[in-house]
């Protein structure tokens, strides 16, 4: 089974790229973040014609997550237990969608950005992560994938210039501790062993030709529970998807799992 995650930065504006990506890599299950737009506007018919089922959640003009699967899509759950809400209306903050696809529980996650360290959104981000961690404790013994845009760069090498992030979110000690708590609990960063060196980054800002200069960040992750991590045979970042006109600012990350 081939599982991928991608912050697509608007599903409607990039539906052609999504369909091409699924075909190019023979993807079975794709988790999307920042789908944006209203649910009834999302162009899902083409995906359905290709044999995929689609579940979407929490679409507004900024957030929204989805799971696309051609190996079954069952037990869809929007949000996780005790997921904190923020903003007005709170429904706009749905950032998590769980579905069982081919025997794997897949959670598409869009972790709150946090904005600035002195912003209420930063505390919301930490609270959100703590509550996700609580919920995930009961998922560890089943094949489960927590995938998406974590908005955290866990290691210094995960940003192009750590000095440039001295006062920024994404690299603070509390954010990194929140991410590390999952690893301590036995979750595994499934793609990291297969994406070293120049393949490290998953996100490049649109500003200032960051992609062309490879000044990126690694903030998109697939964390696997122990039963799932044992099945990984390979992984890759599709950097080519970030190139050219009309790209999302994130590249997809792909993981292969033994059946």
Give the binding site for DNA (CB under 7 A).
Answer: 9-10, 12-13, 34, 36-38, 41, 61-63, 112-113, 115, 121, 167, 206-208, 246
- CB nearer to DNA: give 24 or 38: 38
Given the complex with DNA, which of 64 and 143 has the nearer CB atom? 64
Rounded to a whole number of angstroms, the minimum distance from the CB of residue 14 to DNA is 7
When the beta carbons of 59 and 100 are compared against DNA, the nearer one is: 59
Distance (Å) of CA 256 to CA 2, 176, 191 = 5, 26, 9
The answer to whether the beta carbons of residues 202 and 218 sit under 8 Å apart is: yes
Least separation, in Å, of the C-beta of 114 and DNA?
8
Closest CA to 169 of 202, 122, 219, 134: 122
Identify which of residues 196 and 244 has a Cβ nearer to DNA in the complex.
Answer: 244
Name, in order, each residue with C-beta under 8 angstroms of 24's C-beta and a sequence gap of 6 or more: none
Contact call for residues 21 and 32 (beta carbons, < 8 A): no
Looking from the CA of 80 toward its CB, the CA atoms found within 13 Å total 24
């Amino acid at each position: 089974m081939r599982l991928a995650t991608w912050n697509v930065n608007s599903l409607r504006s990039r539906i052609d790229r999504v369909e091409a990506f699924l075909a190019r890599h023979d993807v079975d299950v794709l988790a999307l973040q920042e789908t944006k737009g209203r649910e009834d506007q999302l162009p899902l018919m083409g995906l359905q014609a290709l044999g995929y089922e689609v579940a979407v959640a929490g679409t507004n003009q900024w957030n929204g997550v989805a799971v696309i699967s051609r190996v079954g899509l069952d037990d869809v759950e929007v949000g996780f237990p005790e997921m904190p809400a923020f903003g007005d209306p709170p429904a706009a903050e749905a950032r998590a969608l769980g579905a069982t696809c081919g025997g794997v529980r897949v959670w598409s996650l869009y972790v709150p950005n946090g904005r600035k360290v002195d912003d209420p959104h930063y505390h919301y981000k930490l609270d959100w992560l703590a509550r996700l961690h609580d919920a995930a404790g009961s998922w560890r013994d089943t094949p489960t994938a927590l995938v998406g845009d974590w908005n955290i760069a866990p290691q210094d090498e995960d940003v192009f210039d750590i000095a440039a992030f001295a006062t920024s979110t994404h690299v603070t000690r509390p954010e990194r501790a929140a991410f590390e708590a999952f690893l301590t609990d036995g979750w595994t960063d499934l793609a990291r062993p297969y994406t070293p060196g120049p393949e490290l980054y998953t996100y490049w800002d649109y500003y200032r030709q960051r992609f062309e200069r490879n000044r990126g960040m690694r903030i998109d992750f697939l964390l696997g529970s122990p039963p799932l991590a044992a099945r990984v045979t390979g992984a890759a970042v599709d950097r080519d998807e970030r190139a050219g006109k009309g790209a999302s600012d994130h590249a997809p990350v792909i993981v292969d799992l033994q059946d």
